[in-house]
Structure 1
Amino acid sequence: MNTVIEAALEAGETVMEIYNKDFDVEYKEDDSPLTIADQHANQLITDVLNRAFPDIPVLSEEGQPLSYEERAAWNTFFLVDPLDGTKEFIKKNGEFTVNIARVENGRPVFGVIYAPALDLLYIGDQEKGAVKVENAAALKKDTSDWYHAGVKLPLSSDFEDTIRVIASRSHMSKETKEFIDQLKSTGEQVETVSTGSSLKLCLIAEGNAQFYPRFAPTMEWDTGAGQAIVEAAGGSVRIAGTDETLNYNKKDLHNPWFLAETGEE
């Protein structure tokens, strides 16, 4: 666990070195942005994981494309998004993260999300639960027990008579608006919260919002670490309109639409 956390923190340092300078932006075939920060963070994380866990494969957004035939026999693997929220990184609003998940038999069982500009670290383990660690960079040299360094999730939240729904700032869809409108039609007071990258799932894990409907495209590496943290905090991430949990290492790495809910009553 500590090796994965340290890899995320070190990648965050690398990302911030580039964030604080001028940098060029390239565009991939799907028109999504790519920076040198994505590439450097990917190389660092991949190198650390390959050295520490040579028998566990790594699937990364910025790694070499792998066919389903190559992945089909994987029971355990690391799922990496070295810079989630590249658009937020380019905008320099601080709402970007480093995501690493360990997936076993199609389920994310451990996840780390580090927001380097905010110096916030989220950790989720299916056995140990979930924690949020503030000022993580400063603690890096002084702690080996991140669970004692953090605050247990979910936090105690008092929504009174308000429902809080997380909506993507960059990817608000018509269907998400309809979900919010449906809640409002029942007479409930609905507050919309916006943030970037996988921080949306972290807010659900914290208990700072009840719902995160994602009725727009995502990839497995966008959600794996966040789902591990949400579930470790007692919440859920299910395929929209079903009771089926989002699963991983599918033939098609695109996620179906999903609804994340907090475990906080």
Structure 2
Amino acid sequence: MAAIDVSALMPELLLIAKKAGEAIMQIYNQPASFTLITLKSDQSPLTQADQAANDLISVRLAVLTPNVPVLSEEGKMVPYEERQAWPLYWCVDPLDGTKEFISRNGEFTVNIALIVGTTPVAGVIYAPVTDELYFTDGQNGAYKVKGNQESVKLAVIGKTDTLIAVKSRSHGAPEEIAFLNQFSVADEIRVGSSLKFCLIAEGKAQLYFRHGPTMEWDTAAGHAILAQAGGKVTGPDGEPFTYNKPSLLNGSFLCTAWQ
């Protein structure tokens, strides 16, 4: 499987993310009583919007890069025995922040990442409610586009004497509070989904620690974008944070606005 030129594909990737967002918004804008919610085997919620976005992204990626496999939250689970041989693949969360979608707070995203080996290289995050795109091709920095405005290059603000931490809107653990106590945190921002990575990438926060479980598709696109904006994603003790593991469940991780 040959490497692909993500920079050449980026216009279409951005369009795919936006079209998935449009499919989500068609359901989001209906009365809540019309939004069908079911529970997956792990008791996490699944909506019509998750499935609609997944179907659209999967079909369009297959057309765009027919030789690159797709690993998606709402797609067929691929056993490690098969995917361990993949040199690269798309890692997709068609609707990240389903709880935010259900609660109607607008803080949900479409996540598409390209994993090469065990590292997220390129990524697209789209926030449909605010019409904001965050993206990187993995070589030329990270960018944000809001609506029809010009793209803005993202850059972290680095480490300062006092820090701004970003925290989850729907999740939290005592371990996270204890871990952050080792830093000089002066303020915090709470937000849902992969937008936490984006806030650090665009210089609005500097620190995010997650103790509770996530999946690889929850973090891959944000990881790629933050890295290209000058930040870093590691394990709590600075160890590499890798992908395409035997288990797709992530351990604890730390996002910082510095290397």
Q: Do both proteins adopt the same fold according to a TM-score greater than 0.5, normalized to the shorter chain?
A: yes
SS at match of 1:170: coil
- C-alpha separation between the residues in 2 aligned to 1:182 and 1:236? 18
Aligned to 1:11: 20
Q: For residue 146 of structure 1, what is the aligned residue in structure 2? A: none
Residue matched to 2:233 = 237
Distance in 1, Cα, partners of 2:160 & 2:226:
22
The CA RMSD over aligned residues, in Å, is: 1.7
- Structure 1 stretches of at least 4 aligned residues deviating more than 6 Å after TM superposition: none
Q: How far, CA to CA, are the matches of 2:14 and 2:132 in structure 1?
A: 12
Counterparts in 2 of 1:178 and 1:75: CA distance versus 1, 3 Å:
same
Q: TM-score, normalised by structure 1?
A: 0.89
Counterparts of 1:172-183 in structure 2, within 5 Å, are 172-183=172-183
TM-score normalised by L of structure 2: 0.91
**What is the deviation of 1:189?**
5.1
Identity across aligned pairs (percent)?
Answer: 50
Map of 1:69 onto structure 2: 81
Identify if the C-alpha distance between structure 1 residues 232 and 189 changes in structure 2 by more than 3 Å, giving closer, same or farther.
closer
Matched with 2:3 is none
- Residues 80-108 of structure 1: CA distance to partner in whole angstroms, max 9, x if unpaired? 00000000000110000000001111111
Displacement of 1:162 after TM fit? 3.1
Task: Tell me how far apart the structure 2 counterparts of residues 98 and 153 of structure 1 sit (CA, whole Å).
Answer: 19
Deviation at 1:180, TM superposition (A): 2.8
The one-letter code sitting in structure 1 at the alignment partner of 2:137 is D
Mapped contact 1:173–1:216 kept (Cα < 8 A): yes
Partner of 1:93: 105
In 2, Cα distance between equivalents of 1:189 and 1:227:
22
User: In the TM superposition, what whole-angstrom CA distance separates every residue of 1:129-161 from its partner, at most 9, and x where no partner exists?
Assistant: 0011111xx47xxxxxxxxx3111116x59975
Does the CA-based 8 Å contact 1:205-1:263 persist in structure 2? no
Secondary structure in 2 matching 1:133: strand
For residue 244 of structure 2, the aligned residue among 249, 257, 262 is: 249
Structure 1 residue matching 2:106: 3-state secondary structure = coil
SS at match of 1:197: coil
Task: Using the TM superposition, give the Cα deviation of residue 179 of structure 1 relative to its aligned residue in structure 2, in angstroms.
Answer: 1.9
Alpha-carbon distance in structure 2 between the residues aligned to 1:9 and 1:189: 35
Separation (CA, whole Å) in 2 of partners of 1:210 and 1:158: 7
Which consecutive residues of structure 2, in runs of 5 or more, have no partner in the other structure?
Answer: 1-9
Letter in 2 for 1:179: F
Cα distance in 1 for residues equivalent to 2:180 and 2:122: 31
Mark the runs of 5 or more structure 1 residues left unpaired by the alignment: 140-148
Which one-letter code corresponds to 2:244 in the other structure? N
User: Using a 3 Å threshold, how does the CA distance of structure 1 residues 257 and 158 change in structure 2: closer, same or farther?
Assistant: closer
Q: Distance in 2 between matches of 1:213 and 1:189?
A: 12
Given that 1:167 and 1:194 are in contact with CA atoms closer than 8 Å, whether structure 2 keeps it comes out as yes
Q: Note if contact 2:114-2:121 (Cα within 8 Å) is conserved in structure 1.
A: yes
The separation in 2 between residues aligned to 1:256 and 1:250, in whole angstroms, is 11
1:246 shift after superposition: 1.3
Structure 2 residue aligned with 1:206: 202
Q: C-alpha separation between the residues in 1 aligned to 2:78 and 2:159?
A: 44
> Deviation of residue 26 (structure 1)?
0.7
Per the TM alignment, residue 71 of structure 1 is displaced from its structure 2 partner at its CA by 0.6
Give the residue type in structure 2 aligned to 1:235.
G
- CA shift at 1:109, angstroms? 0.8
Q: Which amino acid is the alignment partner of residue 260 of structure 1?
A: C
Change (3 A) 1:6 1:13: same
* Alignment of 1:219 onto 2:219: no
**Rounded Cα–Cα distance in structure 1 between residues aligned with 2:158 and 2:72:** 38
* Alpha-carbon distance, 1:245 to partner: 2.5
Instruction: Name the SS for the 1:182 alignment partner.
Output: coil
